[in-house]
Amino acid sequence: MTQASWAYTDTVKEHFMNPRNILMDEDSYKEHGKGVTGNVKCGDEMIVVIKVDKEKGTIADCKWKTFGCASAIASTSVLSEMVKGMKLDDAYNLSAKDINRELGGLPDHKVHCSVLGDKALRMAINDYYVRNEMEEKVKKEEERVVCKCMNITDQEIEHAVLEGARTFYELQEMTKVGTGCGECEQEVTQLLETYKTKHFCEV
């Protein structure tokens, strides 16, 4: 593979070629929390497991396994390094943009791969809280229906933006949002700009 044909940064290449903290033996790893997201039948699936220093409330270890592309592998590899020693609350609030910045940037059509990693991490942290009877600390990411005619949620709109939608028309083509009565157009447009800023502003 020539440098000209490689569309990623050297950091992405390094973490893809030499990924850190891979979960080699899932059965023998005694995790304190586990998160699984994605769907291997559709492409990327992400597994993230953590061990917690209970006295400090920090992540002592983080391992992962993914079935996906170079971006998914590199994103989760760098994530697993970033969170070690981090407070659980800080790790929970780690965003795809933080991961993207650490990698030096991903192509726009690959940013969704970094979202898988931080979502699986949040699930692992919530799982740790549940296992330790700390349900009051569990944070739920609930979907909200934005387009009632087509039953389209805010998370579906965010996913479409991550998959390449940049205009209201492109969102309509991908999700059918706003193709009924059209009353949701203003809110959908605001969400579109919010998610574009959240995931694709300068890193």
Active site residues: 42, 113
DSSP string, 94-118: --HHHHHHHHT---GGGHHHHHHHH
**Segment 137-141 long-range contacts (CB within 8 Å, at least 24 positions apart):** 139/92
Picking from 120, 132, 81, 88, the residue whose alpha carbon sits closest to that of residue 103 is 81
For tokens 């009924």, the residue is 180
Picking from 65, 97, 68, the residue whose alpha carbon sits closest to that of residue 80 is 65
- The residues, any chain, with a CB within 8 Å of residue 202's CB and separated by 6 or more, are none
Cα–Cα distance for residue pair 50/84, rounded to 1 Å:
9
Residue 80: other Cβ atoms inside 10 A: 25
Cα–Cα distance for residue pair 132/127, rounded to 1 Å:
9
- The residues, any chain, with a CB within 8 Å of residue 118's CB and separated by 6 or more, are 79, 94, 95, 96, 98, 99
